[in-house]
Structure 1
């Protein structure tokens, strides 16, 4: 069976049963578990499945976009490595923006306590982590809360960002391609992320390997506006080279 045929069979089974398991798929399709994992990764990059522990869930069973509690459990080790690598981009005693997201939340939790920082965020969970830190001057952007991501969105935070100039913006993202740049499903979050890019002298994107090659509805920024992309070691070399050729440095954690 060729890969496209396996992909069709996997997707059909996932949609019928609500989820698929690596082990049972490997036995049913007479291939190795490693082959099935690569198939699931390919389907996830196309936006058709979401990887879960030991298998995957079809995207149409997850509304359109998974919520924070679901995403927190996905690719936990990869997100931790990305966040730790991003610490090298944090300025000593400067100002940063931390976008809403599960990988950016890991970065917030890891921020050093021996340097003074000014932090701007639109994320309720990130604000909760940093609110009691004595070395951090925290600015939580106002607006209305988007329940799926617990991010503040709307005209209020957009207006506030026009008066800011920070050293580095750390962005989370849903999709990343050379042609469309950064994209995300929700238009209001796309506008906030665009405003973050405009407000920062440098922009660093934290994106695990599943975000590469995906395109979503809301456009955030072209890759020419991005300085650095930090990802994990499972990234496909072809995707890595395509992103680097479009402008940003790519750092693999």
Structure 2
């Protein structure tokens, strides 16, 4: 396992559990206790968690793992989700892509399905698509958020309000039957909500670690999304609750 992938899995586990010990992390990551302690020290120095005697903690509703640390985490699952998502896109469609590692995988497959128009607020996705002749690219503008590589705020929201999008692939930090779609940052949530309002169809793409999870800022309720595509590791009882709200759930 790559160091960056190990750090991402460690942070996601701490965020989900609230507190963990070295032994638990050692078993989860299949590395020595000494390696876990070095990782915890490094991530503590980066202010991504807080060390405790024998482990680490995070408070409240979890920590946000920066996007560059999540890129290698659960990549096979994200690619499978992206393949299913790309199949929903007809030729000539206007496609919205919010930021996120799974939406980035969707973007990489869309270049094979052109001609398309892609509207995005994610600078990393824009950089990947800009040279592809089959893609007409619209980038929202706005204030750059380094944790997610997204452009957010009033400028981004105004751009989205001025366009109609056929289908948006929405990345989330959590989706649950009780709280709908959530993310860590309230300004990012507001920009994601603007994608939802401008779209004829909203498809959430989220690996199993996001299912049943609730984070700080609400993007939208389940009544505003049409599809959820996730992987087979998602808990059945959470998926059932989401489906009961009228969302078409696909597992890959």
2:73 is equivalent to residue 65 of structure 1: no
CA distance change for structure 1 residues 59 and 75 in 2, over 3 Å: closer, same or farther? farther
- Counterparts in 2 of 1:143-154, with a 5 A limit? 143-154=142-153
Deviation, 1:10, is 10
Q: Distance in 2 between matches of 1:133 and 1:242?
A: 40
8 A contact 2:107–2:129 mirrored in 1: yes
- State the distance in 1 between where 2:124 and 2:147 align: 12
Looking at structure 2, the residues matched to 244 and 113 of structure 1 have their Cα atoms a distance apart, in angstroms, of 30
Aligned to 1:248: 247
Q: CA deviation at 1:11?
A: 3.5
- Structure 1 segments unaligned to the other structure (5+ residues): 1-6, 29-48, 50-55
SS class of match (1:89):
coil
Per the TM alignment, residue 168 of structure 1 is displaced from its structure 2 partner at its CA by: 0.2
Deviation at 1:68, TM superposition (A): 1.2
Cα separation, partners in 2 of 1:88 and 1:57, compared to 1, 3 Å: farther
TM-score of the aligned structures, taking structure 2 as reference length:
0.78
Q: Find the partner of 1:21 among 26, 29, 34.
A: 26
Tell me how far 1:69 sits from its aligned partner: 1.4
Shift of 1:162: 1.1
Unaligned runs of 5+ in 2: 1-13, 34-48, 50-54
Q: Assess, with a 3 A threshold, how the Cα gap between structure 1 residues 116 and 72 changes in structure 2: closer, same or farther.
A: same
Instruction: Report if the CA contact (8 A) 2:100-2:171 is conserved.
Output: yes
Partners of 1:210 and 1:151 lie apart in 2 by: 21
Distance 1:180 1:59 in 2: 21
| Paired position in structure 1 for 2:183 | 184
CA distance in 2 between counterparts of 1:125 and 1:24 reads 28
Aligned counterpart, 1:100: 99
Residue 115 of structure 1: CA displacement?
2.6
> 1:155 aligned to 2:163?
no
1:159 is paired with a residue whose SS is: helix
Residues 157/10 of structure 1: CA separation in 2 closer, same or farther (3 Å cut): closer
Q: Give CA-to-partner distance per residue, 1:111-150, whole Å, 9 cap, x none.
A: 1435310100000110011000001100011011101001
TM-score normalised according to structure 1 size: 0.78
Deviation at 1:203, TM superposition (A): 0.3
Task: Check 1:10–1:245 CA distance in 2 against 1; reply closer, same or farther (3 A cut).
Answer: closer
Aligned length: 213
